[in-house]
Chains A and B, each alone.
Chain A
Amino acid sequence: MPRTVEFTDTEFMIAQGARLLEDGKTFFVGWGIPQVVAILAQKLYVPNVVQLFEFGAVGPQSALPFVRGTMGGAQNTYRSLQWLNMNWAFSYSASGYMDYGMLGALQVDPFGNINSTFLGGTFAAPDRRFAGSGGGNQVASHCWRTIIVIKHEGRRFVPRVDFLTSPGYLSGPGSREKAGLPAGTGPYRVVTSKALFGFDDDTKEMTLLSVLRGLDPEEIVREMAFRPRLAKPIDEIPPPTDAELRLLRDEIDPARIIIRGERMTAVA
């Protein structure tokens, strides 16, 4: 009998992100939600993924619960293979060893270019200022495939980012290579709180691949400030599983600070 599951949009975003990882691959983890995605994935799906943190934690297997806000503490770097520093961490990505990278974003454009620096105004006098690149620029430049994790809010999907912090496909096919970025790299997926996007092989434009079960693809697209390409067919993504929700709620974030968000339901 069909059963309705309740969850937050954040929980869905984390869960579907976790399902994207491949076991036995390397994975450069950005600050924030990507850390939680990596933990969930490693515990449930990909025990042999090698995580990398930009300050040189190689292969950590985080202790739970997750300590919010921080990345460098003993919990998050627990049971690493190696402890190094930043220049060595980015050497792993620059030399081609990092299969995937995962980053959050304030804004993203049709070519997967990321803004995490400011919104509105100018760089010198922004309307709202945020953290900026951190190591995101290196992750998006070096990793073979970059996954962007972003809340599905229309104002975040813009025709042109206010500031290009971390490179997607820049202005289209071939432009990464022309700029001097490592060949064959670039954004791979955009994981949102409602849907999943990829990038068209030829045009490098963002393409809607699938949506949360029960949502209307047209409505998903209408919220965005640009119109992405649409895959044919557009698949449905099952809601978070019991195992995903139990791990997130009971073990990873028992205080439920990170996973809180807009309430959603879907048929399991």
Chain B
Amino acid sequence: MTLRREGDVEYRFEHPDAFRRFVRDRKSRRPQAKLLSAQEAVATFVSDGDYIVYDFSSLTRGPQILIREVIRQRKKDLWIGAEFTLHESSLLVGAGCASRIDVGFLGYGNYIGQAVCDGRVKVYEWTNGGLALRMLAGARGVPFLPTRDLLGTDNLAVSAAKVIADPYTGDPVCLVPALNPDVALIHVHQADVCGDARIFGTNLFALEAAMASHRVIVSAEEIVEPDEFRKDPMRTTIPYFLVDAVVHAPFGAYPGSMPARYEIDLAHVDRLNGIRTEDQMRAYLDEFVFGVADHEEFLDRKVGAQRMKELRRNATIVEGYR
């Protein structure tokens, strides 16, 4: 096989057999209750140095409750695989939690851009399609998957994608390596205590990430009975045996929206977008993350019942969601 071109950067990779052994030996298939607090779930399943992915985005159904808890526990040296990382990357870098980011779409705003310019965080360019395909390869148990993009561009030099001559056509084709993250953080509409989970609406790679990751934390707006999944299996996004912890997380996507449940809080998002300096970052983190003990206190003191009621009322589109 002729290797035509390859990038020369670090990348997260694990032999498919190593991941399969982990799945065989360490992932429980028993339908036991896994309901934990966000504090317990993050303390138990997220470690310094971990590679983390999440689904969906900062503005839509993101696991913001878990991101804030990761920051509150001051995890270090995280590597994040981020498709739509609009604010998480800023907050995780600003809090000193993340040191490497595979993107994706590297968020808005001045803070994260400046952090890249200052060399405070390393960024690798896999593109959204490349990251999604890496996740699929991780879930399919293959070392790589081929794709007909990235080709001809500078992304090839700043990712670890490789270009080879395709053995079937002879044409150049791009290969991206499988990704098997340490942890997937996925926010869902409904889950049962064992981890069966439902997402209503689109997603990035929820099932692929849950299948490809060593540990999976699901945060759910609503906890439902396990039998609900048996009654309507077409609507199961993730089955329980992929999941390690379930966190009951009403308003867990705040300040983003949860389709058909509550709308985005644009005023809060504007405050996040406006963070430019270290002082502003520190002030935000002190007020909204370190200044509260947990998500309940955050909602109670920093969002408030009145605001939550308004945001719920703003979610007028329910067609297509259940």
Q: How far is the CA of A152 from the CA of B56 in the complex (A)?
A: 33
Give min CB distance, B118 to chain A, whole Å. Answer: 9
Select the stretch in A34-42, A136-144, A231-239 that faces chain B: A136-144
Q: How far is the CA of A69 from the CA of B105 in the complex (A)?
A: 13
Q: How far is the CA of A68 from the CA of B321 in the complex (A)?
A: 22
Q: Which of B57, B106, B136 contacts A87 (CB 8 A)?
A: B136
In the complex, B107 has a CB within 8 A of chain A: yes
Q: In the complex, which residue of chain B has the Cβ closest to the Cβ of A54?
A: B128
CB pair B104–A164 under 8 Å, yes or no, is no
In the complex, A173 has a CB within 8 A of chain B: no
Give min CB distance, B134 to chain A, whole Å. Answer: 10
In the complex, B153 has a CB within 8 A of chain A: yes
In the bound complex, residues from chain B placing their C-beta under 8 Å from that of A163 are 154
CB pair B202–A57 under 8 Å, yes or no, is yes
Q: How far is the CA of A167 from the CA of B150 in the complex (A)?
A: 8
CB pair B317–A74 under 8 Å, yes or no, is yes
Q: Which of B114, B130, B174, B264 contacts A67 (CB 8 A)?
A: B264
Give min CB distance, A207 to chain B, whole Å. Answer: 21
CB pair B127–A138 under 8 Å, yes or no, is yes
* Interface SS majority for chain A: loop
In the bound complex, residues from chain A placing their C-beta under 8 Å from that of B149 are 90, 94, 137-138, 141-142, 181
CB pair B172–A180 under 8 Å, yes or no, is yes
Q: Given A86-B204, A127-B117, answer yes or no on A80-B105 (Cβ-Cβ < 8 Å).
A: no
Proximity string of chain A (46-62) to chain B, C-beta cutoff 8 Å, 1 when within and 0 when not: 00000001111100000
Q: Which of B132, B172, B315, B319 contacts A90 (CB 8 A)?
A: B132
Select the stretch in A118-126, A192-200, A217-225, A258-266 that faces chain B: A118-126
Please report which residues of chain B, range 82-109, place their CB below 8 angstroms from some CB of chain A when the two chains form the complex.
83-84, 86, 103-108
CB pair B154–A165 under 8 Å, yes or no, is yes
CB pair B119–A138 under 8 Å, yes or no, is no
Q: Which of B61, B158, B171, B269 contacts A123 (CB 8 A)?
A: B158
Number of interface residues of B (CB under 8 A): 68
In the bound complex, residues from chain A placing their C-beta under 8 Å from that of B257 are 70, 73-74
In the complex, B155 has a CB within 8 A of chain A: yes
In the complex, B31 has a CB within 8 A of chain A: no
CB pair A85–B204 under 8 Å, yes or no, is yes
In the bound complex, residues from chain B placing their C-beta under 8 Å from that of A67 are 264, 266
Q: In the complex, which residue of chain A has the Cβ closest to the Cβ of B122?
A: A124
Give min CB distance, B142 to chain A, whole Å. Answer: 14
In the complex, B152 has a CB within 8 A of chain A: yes
CB pair B153–A166 under 8 Å, yes or no, is yes
Q: How far is the CA of A131 from the CA of B263 in the complex (A)?
A: 24
CB pair B59–A137 under 8 Å, yes or no, is no
Q: How far is the CA of A131 from the CA of B123 in the complex (A)?
A: 11
In the complex, A79 has a CB within 8 A of chain B: yes
Give min CB distance, A267 to chain B, whole Å. Answer: 38
Q: How far is the CA of A142 from the CA of B128 in the complex (A)?
A: 14
Q: Which of A73, A79, A94, A129 contacts B60 (CB 8 A)?
A: A73
CB pair A78–B152 under 8 Å, yes or no, is no
CB pair A131–B153 under 8 Å, yes or no, is no
In the bound complex, residues from chain B placing their C-beta under 8 Å from that of A165 are 125, 153-155
In the complex, B201 has a CB within 8 A of chain A: yes
In the complex, A154 has a CB within 8 A of chain B: no
CB pair B106–A132 under 8 Å, yes or no, is yes
In the bound complex, residues from chain B placing their C-beta under 8 Å from that of A73 are 59-60, 257, 259, 263-264
Q: Which of A77, A94, A182 contacts B202 (CB 8 A)?
A: A77
Q: How far is the CA of A87 from the CA of B150 in the complex (A)?
A: 15
In the complex, A148 has a CB within 8 A of chain B: no
In the bound complex, residues from chain B placing their C-beta under 8 Å from that of A124 are 119
CB pair A85–B205 under 8 Å, yes or no, is yes
In the bound complex, residues from chain B placing their C-beta under 8 Å from that of A70 are 57, 59-60, 257, 264
Q: Which of A80, A87, A128, A130 contacts B205 (CB 8 A)?
A: A87
In the complex, A84 has a CB within 8 A of chain B: yes
Give min CB distance, A42 to chain B, whole Å. Answer: 17
A-B contact list, 15 entries, CB within 8 Å: A54-B128, A55-B84, A69-B108, A69-B269, A71-B60, A74-B259, A78-B317, A85-B206, A85-B207, A129-B113, A129-B116, A132-B125, A142-B149, A167-B151, A181-B148
Binding site for B on A (CB under 8 A): 31, 53-57, 63, 67-75, 77-80, 83-87, 90, 94, 117-118, 121, 123-138, 141-142, 163-167, 170, 175-176, 178-182
